Amino acid sequence: MKRILFFILLLLLTLFFQIALTGWTEKIKVDLFLLLTIFWSQSRGWKEGIITGFLSGFLKDIFFSPVLGISTFSLILIGWLVGEIQSKIYQQNFLLLILLVASGSLFHAFVISSWLTFLYRFSFILNFTTSIYPALFYNLLFASGAFVIKETFTKKFLTTQS
């Protein structure tokens, strides 16, 4: 029950900060829903990764997407893939996190650009390059900071328990 309440709190905080960052400036295009899905899937596995991807993608579609379901589909796939990778590779690896965030950002931009090209006949190359360039940089920056904070609290918590 605590984990569910913690997740709901994280989801609401993610929504709040995503709205705040998007409303504050159009230049910062960080995808906090993607980062939440990657971090939660990496620590909890593929089943909770799918649920996280669905809920965060659905919220992202409601508030930020022109078509309902595109981000949901993409984040469900990312949650499942990261959860599958989590069970096979050591989790506290910074390089793995950077790779997961970079590939997740590229995959998410690819799926959204593909669907928008198919549905609205936007230019795929133009949409992909304009959505991936700033988002990839900011996602990696935010993920690095979150990893450092997580590791600091984990070490502090583990040393106080001993």
Domains of the chain are: 2-161 (1.10.1760.20)
Listing DSSP states for 72-138 in one string gives HHHHHHHHHHHHHHHTTS-SS-HHHHHHHHHHHHHHHHHHHHHHHHHHH---HHHHHHHHHHHHHHH
What pLDDT was estimated at residue 158? 62
Q: CA-to-CA distance for 100 and 37, rounded, in angstroms?
A: 11
Nearest to 31 by CA among 111, 96, 151, 89: 111
Q: Which two tokens stand for residue 56?
A: 């965060």
Q: What is the per-residue pLDDT for 115?
A: 85
* pLDDT confidence of residue 125: 80
pLDDT confidence of residue 136: 86
Q: How many of the other CB atoms lie within 10 Å of CB of 155?
A: 10
Give the model's pLDDT for residue 34: 93
Q: Mean pLDDT of successive 10-residue segments in the chain (162 residues)?
A: 89 91 68 92 90 95 87 94 81 81 89 83 77 82 86 71 54
Q: Which of 1, 28, 3, 33 is nearest to 16 (CA)?
A: 33
Predicted local confidence at residue 25, as pLDDT: 58
